[in-house]
Amino acid sequence: MLATLPFTLNFAHPLMEWSLLATGGWALYLGIKVKRTRTGTPEQRKLLVPKKFAQRHYLWGSILLALMTLGTLGGMAVTYLNNDKLFVGPHLLVGLGMTGMLAVAASLSPLMQRGNVIARKVHVGLNMGMLTLFLWQAFSGMEIVNKIWTSR
């Protein structure tokens, strides 16, 4: 059991990241609902406000940030433990960049709560860019998983 643990850990990161990609999609959906609530007609707002999309978006975004940070660090740790080095390449660099983008987007929340339109646009742009990169990461990561699986 303990002998196979390092090999098995190689698959924890990809499973977690695919789950986080889905979580990012859910946070996006909630964010769209927040915008509809904020910009809708009084009748639309009356229907949407009780569903608390803003609070739910904030919660899921916070979960995404925390787990993505842990997933990034965990993926790096497992790679280092299994190989005594990190492989500095596009997958690692884009993953670090995505984590940074998400952290900056989350840090704009206080400004957005005060109605800062520029902060809101930057928040949306960073998150859309991060999700686009996340799609690429998912597939480049599967290439890495396939290399690990076939090299065993």
- Over residues 136-148, the mean pLDDT reads 88
Confidence (pLDDT) at 116:
97
Instruction: Work out the average pLDDT over 119-145.
Output: 94
What span, in angstroms and rounded, lies between the C-alpha atoms of 47 and 45?
A: 5
Residue 152 or 83, more confident: 83
| pLDDT for residue 81 is more than 70 | yes
Among 34-43, 81-90, 120-129, name the one with the lowest average pLDDT. 81-90
Tell me the residue type at 22.
A
- Say if residue 6's pLDDT is above 80: no
pTM of the prediction?
Answer: 0.88
Please say if the pLDDT value at position 77 is more than 70.
Answer: yes
User: What's the pLDDT score for residue 150?
Assistant: 86
Angle at which helices 117-151 and 90-107 pack, to 10 degrees? 150
Residue of higher predicted confidence among 5 and 116? 116
DSSP state of 50: G
pLDDT of residue 83: 87
Query: Out of 1-15, 29-43, 130-144, which region has the weakest mean confidence (pLDDT)?
Result: 1-15
pLDDT band at residue 2 under the 50/70/90 scheme: low
How far apart (Å, rounded) are the C-alpha atoms in residues 131 and 126?
9
